[in-house]
A and B are shown apart, each in its own frame.
Chain A
Amino acid sequence: MKISTTTTGIFPKISSSKEVPSLRANLHKADRGEISQEELETIIQKNIERVVREQIGADIDLPTDGLIRWTDLFSPFVQAWDGITRRGIHRFYNTNTLYGEPVVEGDLQFNPSKTLGDFKFALSVSENVKATLPGVFTFAASCVDTFYQDEKKLREVIAASLLEEAKALVAAGAKMIEIHEIELGWGDYDRAEVSEIYKKFGELDVKVVVVSYFQNFSEEIVQALISAKCGVGIDVQKPHSHDFEKEGMILQAGIVDSRETKIESAEFFTEYKNKIESTFAAAAEIIYSTSSHVEYLPHEIAMQKIALLKNLK
């Protein structure tokens, strides 16, 4: 069984580093027109490089590009695609972070988002960088749909656009795409539809891992994702089921709690590692990770926590 490590989702966008220009300060400057868009782009790249190097420094096998440009899980796509805009803010599931509520007000048409450019730049820092996309069900459930007014149709068109994003990431060299499907851990969805949608992602020439956090997938959803040839991410500290076919599966095990600052003990890791690796002994690969977005933690604590992941290898 292959064992590796990764981090999940948005990385802390700011750090105490004096070597890299402050993203926070420079975003404010850009808002006030004190620096140009070109200058801001350079600062964004320096920060992407910082987060990739920080993860490499913590011995993470599959670093993310940090999603430095993303204000929320949907923002880069809402900005790029036609037929969709955003209105007021809304709390993201059970967190104290907010997202701009996407509003579908026309026929949804794909345009490449800036995610691809950021990912390509991150690949120039490390060829092992993985890509990230929002989940189809999560994206659709977070939208206000004034155009299709048909939930299934909305998921279908969002899936088509996200699939185009995924294909572009694969063409750019992505070896793994992590898809954030929080909604599938919360809502009651048809297993056949989940399987049908994710089959198209699972057929791509890339490792696709669909992750949930805050609440885990049901057994039926896990089975649907596995049958679609996707890996599955779960938060192992939260209740989760094991009653599904595990042979050859890819499991992303969220073991480091990214919503609490308390540092996990060595005993905790030993206990969980033993439990996971015996329960999922038939899996092809286990990828240990943070339980959800790393940016829920302050930067210094996030760095302490992700440094612990190497002990699981």
Chain B
Amino acid sequence: MKIDLNLPLFPTTTVGSFPKPSYLAEARKKFYRKEISREELLELEEKATKEYIEMQERVGLDVLVDGEAERGDMATFFAERLNGFEISEPVRSYGNRYYKKPRIIGEIEWTEPMTKHFFEYAQKLTDKPVKGMLTGPYTMMDWSFNEHYSSREEVVRAFAKVLRQEAEELQKAGCRIIQVDEPALSVRSDEIELAAEGLRLVTEGLEMYSITHICYGAFEHLAPKIHLLPVDQIDLEFAGRDFELLDQLRGHEFPQDVGLGVYDVHTHKTTPAEKISEYLEKALTYFKPEKIWVDPDCGLKTRSLPESEEGLREMVAAVKELKSKN
């Protein structure tokens, strides 16, 4: 459901995760070694969340995130809190980065709110809207080992059911913007209808503005069908490939708003405001101004906090300049 968020033109935001401060990374290790309690870890996660909110306010973003201080991997975090899972030993995703891939071994069941606490905590710290952040049912399915269900469709529907419950919890807590990330879809355009069904089951009828984030895949195959995704906004990674994606989208229907990734998060080099301005001008040749939101290509967790702040400042400066022209 499209709702009036009363946001400025070209709203600025981030994709979700923020870098873990060293004290939090250390605390998480200590917690897993049972050297600190759950409460002590929670206190530090809240401290980090407060710092993330302060940073986003300082930079001047319009729509904030809680920064996901309590989350490790985006699929494992949910699997650890749902019934029906075991968590595997690490598997590699890229370079020297590993994640503990969930194994579905029984019926997937929701037990308690998973994301509500940090949403509420973050929202109390700011007057700006904070997004509720979920990993989508299609991505949860594709990024889990399945030892229980007989088909991929069944797994998506099972995840959609529990994520719907979580979305309703966020709505009750006052959340007005929900982001349901579906990065796995970027290389599975043949299953876009299934991903669309999952998104519909999670978001249909909610009084929230809905976003899905997709990144690092074969958009040339996804572009012709992207209009099928039943969300208010599709957030895509554009900067990492120097905005080539825009050419792939041309000629295809794109009724949703767009989240424009204008800042490459997989390099230590900051994308300068001048470059971001060029990207924005390019985007305006395809998207109407009122359809555009602006953010980094992906979550910031692989960058340092100073790098993230510098990158976001450049992004906000470029948007400010663009607004002065529009």
Which of A13, A90, A97, A296 contacts B217 (CB under 8 A)? A90
Q: Is A72 interfacial (CB-CB < 8 Å)?
A: yes
Q: Identify 29 residue pairs between A and B in the complex whose beta-carbon atoms are under 8 Å apart, listed by A's number.
A: A12-B91, A16-B89, A24-B96, A31-B96, A71-B94, A87-B240, A88-B216, A88-B241, A88-B264, A88-B266, A88-B267, A89-B94, A89-B216, A89-B240, A90-B216, A91-B187, A91-B217, A96-B142, A96-B143, A96-B184, A98-B93, A98-B94, A98-B216, A260-B145, A260-B146, A262-B145, A295-B91, A295-B92, A296-B91
- Decide if B93 touches A96 in the complex (CB within 8 Å): yes
Q: Is B147 interfacial (CB-CB < 8 Å)?
A: yes
- Decide if A14 touches B88 in the complex (CB within 8 Å): no
Interface size on A, residues (CB 8 A): 33
Please report B residues at the A interface, Cβ cutoff 8 Å: 88-96, 98, 101, 103, 142-143, 145-147, 184, 186-188, 216-218, 240-241, 264, 266-267
- Decide if A261 touches B147 in the complex (CB within 8 Å): yes
Residues of B within 8 A of A300 (CB): 89
Query: Across the two chains, which residue of chain B brings its CB closest to A298?
Result: B89
Looking at A95, A101, A261, which has the most chain B CB atoms within 10 Å of its CB? A261
Q: Is A206 interfacial (CB-CB < 8 Å)?
A: no
Residues of A within 8 A of B241 (CB): 87-88, 101
Produce 1/0 per residue, A9-21, CB < 8 A to B.
0001110100000
Residues of B within 8 A of A261 (CB): 88, 103, 145, 147
Query: Across the two chains, which residue of chain A brings its CB closest to B142?
Result: A96
Interchain CA distance A295-B89 in the complex, whole Å: 12
Chain B nearest CB: distance from A35 CB in Å? 14
Chain A nearest CB: distance from B151 CB in Å? 13
Interchain CA distance A154-B142 in the complex, whole Å: 33
Number of A-B contacts defined by CB within 8 Å: 74
Interchain CA distance A97-B101 in the complex, whole Å: 12
Interchain CA distance A98-B96 in the complex, whole Å: 11
Q: A89-B266, A93-B187, A260-B146 given as contacts; is B95 within 8 A of A297 (CB)?
A: no
Looking at A24, A27, A89, A95, which has the most chain B CB atoms within 10 Å of its CB? A89
Q: Is A94 interfacial (CB-CB < 8 Å)?
A: yes
Looking at A14, A27, A71, A94, which has the most chain B CB atoms within 10 Å of its CB? A94
Main secondary structure of the interface of B (DSSP, over half): mixed
Query: Across the two chains, which residue of chain A brings its CB closest to B298?
Result: A89
Query: Across the two chains, which residue of chain B brings its CB closest to A71?
Result: B95
Produce 1/0 per residue, A250-264, CB < 8 A to B.
000000000011100
- Decide if B93 touches A298 in the complex (CB within 8 Å): no
Looking at B98, B143, B216, which has the most chain A CB atoms within 10 Å of its CB? B216
Residues of B within 8 A of A27 (CB): 96
Residues of A within 8 A of B184 (CB): 96
- Decide if A91 touches B186 in the complex (CB within 8 Å): yes
Q: Is A114 interfacial (CB-CB < 8 Å)?
A: no
Looking at B92, B146, B266, which has the most chain A CB atoms within 10 Å of its CB? B92
Interchain CA distance A168-B127 in the complex, whole Å: 65
Chain B nearest CB: distance from A304 CB in Å? 12
Having A71-B96, A295-B91, one finds 10 other A-B pairs with CB under 8 Å, namely A88-B216, A89-B266, A90-B217, A91-B217, A97-B94, A260-B147, A261-B103, A296-B91, A298-B89, A300-B89
Looking at B94, B187, B241, which has the most chain A CB atoms within 10 Å of its CB? B94
Interchain CA distance A298-B142 in the complex, whole Å: 16
Query: Across the two chains, which residue of chain A brings its CB closest to B264?
Result: A88
Interchain CA distance A298-B91 in the complex, whole Å: 5
Q: Is A99 interfacial (CB-CB < 8 Å)?
A: yes
- Decide if B88 touches A301 in the complex (CB within 8 Å): yes
Residues of A within 8 A of B264 (CB): 88
Produce 1/0 per residue, A73-102, CB < 8 A to B.
000000000000001111101111111010
